[in-house]
Amino acid sequence: MGHSLMSQRRLLLWLRLLTGAGFMYQGVSHILEMRAQADLFAAYAGWQSWPIVGGMRPLELTLWLAFFEFGLGVFLFGGLLTRILGGFGALLAAFQILALGLAAGPLNLFLLIGAGLACLKGGGGGTMDSALGAMQRKSIENQRIRDAEAARLKAEKAAQEPSITPTMGVGGPMVGVIEGS
């Protein structure tokens, strides 16, 4: 059983790395060939009636996509916010597939699958998310240990201090009788 879990973690790791590299590649490609990509968006104008992107010009849309793809690829490759950014990456790839079909190439289909799996299953081993989570859990555990030690010391101190209790004397209550001494 442990071997199959390790294999799944390793497979998700490689899928996350390839998806991140694919998004970075596509972002750089959109910048280097921005006119061709903008012409492709101009030829497939169905996206212009959609909310959010409908008011953009094809070149503007190309540049925004390139910016988001490259940044998303860097974060996915590094393993930071993999589930959240995997979902965002799946949306970006799905948008391009719906807007352009496979005219932009098959990479968007791979990116949709890879980003969707990163969103649903996580990024596999070696993510910064897991390292940061481990550091946070360790910090919380250390704080619990410090709090328990402080409570124990406070209880010991309270048990060792003499207490003053009022007693009834001949003329009324007397204060100042010390017990425990």
Apex 17 CA angle, 15 and 8, nearest 5: 40
- H-helix segments, 101-180: 107-121, 128-160
Indicate the helix (H) or strand (E) that contains 14.
helix 2-32
Per-residue pLDDT of the chain (181 residues; tens, 9 = 90+): 556 656 888 899 999 999 999 999 999 999 999 999 999 999 998 899 999 898 999 999 999 999 999 999 999 999 999 999 999 999 999 999 999 998 888 999 999 999 999 999 988 887 887 788 888 899 999 999 999 999 999 988 888 877 666 666 566 655 555 555 4
Q: What is the pTM of this model?
A: 0.73
Q: Which residues contact 71 (CB under 8 A, 6 or more apart)?
A: 27
- DSSP character for 73? H
Tokens of 118: 């990163």
Q: Which residues contact 48 (CB under 8 A, 6 or more apart)?
A: 54
Question: Which has the closest alpha carbon to 19: 104, 85, 99?
Answer: 85
Decide if 117 contacts 86 (C-beta within 8 A). Answer: yes
